[in-house]
């Protein structure tokens, strides 16, 4: 899993900063369902995250901040996740 590899290579105190689509996004639940909050929309599979998923993936990290923001014309709703390795 990607989060395991990031945790492995970061030094203690290292920063993991990423963005993901949020389950509050207008496209969540639309398109072809591929399991675990993943939907195929216009030929792309999009994984939508909720706060529980972010907390699960943050094992071994201190959650510094999780911010919701919008981007683009639709707009798309995302989380900005800021983690620090313990």
Angle at 73 (CA atoms; ends 68, 75), nearest 5 degrees: 30
pTM over 0.75? The answer is yes
Distance from first CA to last CA of the chain, Å, rounded?
Answer: 19
pLDDT in tens, 13-27: 999 999 999 999 999
Is the preceding omega at residue 75 within 30 degrees of 0, hence cis? yes
Residuewise pLDDT in 10s, the chain (86 residues):
788 899 999 999 999 999 999 999 999 999 999 999 999 999 999 999 999 999 999 999 999 999 999 999 989 999 999 999 99
């Amino acid at each position: 899993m990607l989060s395991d590899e990031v945790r492995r290579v970061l030094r203690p105190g290292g920063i993991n900063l990423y963005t993901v689509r949020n389950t509050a996004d207008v496209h969540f639940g639309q398109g072809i369902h591929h399991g675990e909050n993943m939907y195929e929309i216009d030929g792309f599979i999009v994984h939508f995250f909720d706060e529980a998923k972010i907390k699960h993936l943050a094992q071994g990290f201190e959650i510094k901040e999780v911010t919701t923001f919008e981007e683009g014309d639709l707009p798309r709703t995302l989380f900005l996740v800021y983690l620090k390795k313990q």
